[in-house]
Chains A and B, each alone.
Chain A
Amino acid sequence: MWVSFYTMLRKDIVRMFRIWVQTFLPSVITAVLYFSVFGAILGSRIGEMQGVDYMSFVVPGLVMLAIVTTSYANTSFMFFTSKFFARSIDEILVSPTPAWLLIGGFVAGGVVRGVLVGLLVLLVSLFFTGLSLTIHSALIIFGFAVLTAIVFALAGLVNGIYAKTIDGINIVPTFVLTPLVYLGGIFYSVHVLPEWWQTITYSNPLFYLVNGFRYGFLGITDVALSISLLVLVAMTVVLIAINWYFIKTGLGLRQ
């Protein structure tokens, strides 16, 4: 059974390294632009945020941004293309691979790419922070990176399964994911916002992930780490259940 999982994961990893310019480079270039504009150019005028210099403050958020968008895009695109173009998803659907393993195989690919891209963005950030990197807890950093990648790979899979057209896999990232990411506290602390906006921010799941991740680097957070972790675990459980239901019933997959 695990051979099937390994096959799906290996296939995805081979693909992502074969077309590395498309799979790894865009997020790194985007991060360089963010670091240049928000960190180096504007950041020097902003000064400190929550007691740390602005560049150090935005690094965890930008790494998280890369993980979120990459892991989401990987599974949504991979699944949609194998379902829609050439219908190669049938190769797995006709096999004895159970639904939960199919989910695991696709999600694992998204996690690998998400974490690798996050690592690359972190390495690039060193150039902008003068090779200095504060690490409060490597375990928290790694745990939040992997869990976040799992959550967004699962979310991307829901999108990939349900999408009926190529537009269907672009709508969610554009109209849902991007606003959530930008308003999730990557570039600012929630305490600098007016009270009504703070209330809205607390309903944004991305806010908790960014804060938990930032805590791993800087030891500062707007919200308790346990709450961030709870939000991550809850999102994981809900998204696994949705995916399992979709695959098991064939919704969006079988006629």
Chain B
Amino acid sequence: MPPALEIKDLKKTYKSGAVALRGVSLNVPVGDFFALLGPNGAGKTTIIGIVTSLVNKTSGTVKIFGHDTDKEFEKAKTYIGLVGQEVNFNPFEKPLDIVVNQGGYYGIPRSEAIPRAKKLLTDLGLGDKMLGQSMQLSGGMKRRLMIARALIHEPRFLILDEPTAGVDVELRRGMWEYLRKLTGQGVTILLTTHYLEEAEQLAKHVAIINKGEIVASGTMEKVLAMHGAEEKAEKGGYRGGRLEEVFLKLTSEAEKSKL
């Protein structure tokens, strides 16, 4: 079975001349909970933008479940659900309409989309808000609405770009639990987050990107072991989690090697 996401030598240079990706290669296995980590401006959102066709790549190939996004653009998109970093829905619309319309863009008729949307919104704790105005939702509710919207077409591959940014601890835990359930149902998840402890607990595989290059990738345990984080964490006591140690080490190493 082809991987859920296969990226080969992906490069992106923006019109401004800024180089965002310098030949990224990445595989996300089917059914995985994959964490793509990196500091701000590392290229995470650019990768997600290219995979979801919101950003044009400069070169390289992207395949979703074996479907090349250049050759089978529409087929590849049917597999993906996206929860973007920024809130990007019409705030004047009702949450129910936003989710149902998204289903429509994926070819799901309203008669089918409405009960599905109601269930998703209820499961995500927005049952009593679905007919109000979206602009009146709190930050955490908006994030959950975006998750419901991304799931309406029952995607096999869910991409979440910092879905818990600005969300309180309790809500965040609830969201992680929900995502864990989804992976249990066979949905592959690609996640970017700055909450490294949570990524460490949730993800099976991890890739760390810095300045447009992958500086480490593999299973979570392999990445942690590769850099002796376990040992360091034990010796140094608790300092924010093992993955944080690795992350800081790798990103600062990459900085030093550039100097």
Chain A residues with a Cβ under 8 A of chain B? 1, 3-4, 6-8, 10-11, 82, 86-88, 90-98, 249-250, 254-255
Are B53 and A254 in contact (CB-based, < 8 A)? yes
Chain B residue numbers with a CB within 8 Å of A249 are: 56
| Nearest-CB residue, chain B, relative to A14 | B97
Are B149 and A96 in contact (CB-based, < 8 A)? no
Interface of B is mostly: loop
Given contacts A7-B101, A91-B101, contact A96 B106 (CB under 8 A): yes
Top 6 A-B pairs, shortest CB-CB distance: A7-B104, A95-B105, A96-B74, A87-B88, A96-B77, A88-B90
Once bound together, how far apart are the Cα atoms of A93 and B51, in whole Å? 12
Q: At the interface with chain A, which of B78-86, B169-177, B199-207?
A: B78-86
- B91 contacts chain A at the CB level, 8 A cutoff: yes
Are B101 and A11 in contact (CB-based, < 8 A)? yes
Given contacts A4-B105, A97-B105, contact A86 B52 (CB under 8 A): no
Chain B residue numbers with a CB within 8 Å of A250 are: 56
Are B89 and A86 in contact (CB-based, < 8 A)? yes
Given contacts A91-B88, A95-B102, contact A255 B49 (CB under 8 A): yes
Name B107's contact: one of A3, A88, A90 (CB within 8 Å). Answer: A3
Q: What's the least CB distance linking A30 to chain B, in Å?
A: 26
Are B104 and A88 in contact (CB-based, < 8 A)? no
Chain A residue numbers with a CB within 8 Å of B87 are: 86
Once bound together, how far apart are the Cα atoms of A210 and B82, in whole Å? 46
- B184 contacts chain A at the CB level, 8 A cutoff: no
Name B14's contact: one of A92, A95, A255 (CB within 8 Å). Answer: A255
Are B89 and A94 in contact (CB-based, < 8 A)? no
- B75 contacts chain A at the CB level, 8 A cutoff: yes
Given contacts A88-B88, A96-B75, A255-B49, contact A7 B54 (CB under 8 A): no
| Nearest-CB residue, chain A, relative to B76 | A96
Q: What's the least CB distance linking A245 to chain B, in Å?
A: 14
